[in-house]
């Protein structure tokens, strides 16, 4: 999936890469409206690390089942593991 990143997404992703290299102490809080793409910041980091180490395991916790289902759907789509056909997720 290809889409344009917001400026705040670009800044967070850049800071994450710098943190992983051990160059900065990184903590972030992201405040943005519903549907603004906050999850992209975290999924990008996870995807980059999984690409480097396929044996890596990631635990993602969400506060609500509906949010978890939506984020799982978006993550699978973003990583290319699923597509949408007639409104249904296809693996």
Structure confidence by residue, pLDDT tens digits, 48-78 = 888 888 888 877 766 666 666 777 777 777 7
pLDDT-based confidence at 89, cuts 50/70/90? Answer: low
Residue 73 vs residues 27, 68, 84, 91: alpha-carbon distances, Å: 27, 8, 9, 10
Percent of the chain's residues with pLDDT above 90: 0
Q: Could you tell me the sign of the dihedral formed by the alpha carbons of 81, 15, 60, 36, in that order? A: negative
Question: Tell me, what's the pLDDT at 62?
Answer: 64
DSSP 8-state class, residue 3 = -
Q: Is the whole model's pTM more than 0.85, yes or no?
A: no
């Amino acid at each position: 999936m290809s889409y344009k990143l917001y400026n705040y997404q670009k800044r967070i992703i850049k800071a994450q890469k710098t943190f992983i290299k051990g160059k900065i102490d990184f903590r972030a809080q992201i405040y943005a409206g519903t549907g603004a793409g906050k999850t992209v910041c975290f999924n990008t980091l996870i995807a980059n690390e999984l690409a480097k180490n396929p044996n890596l395991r990631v635990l993602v916790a969400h506060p609500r089942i509906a949010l978890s289902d939506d984020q799982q759907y978006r993550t699978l789509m973003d990583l290319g593991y699923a597509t949408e056909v007639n409104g249904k997720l296809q693996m």
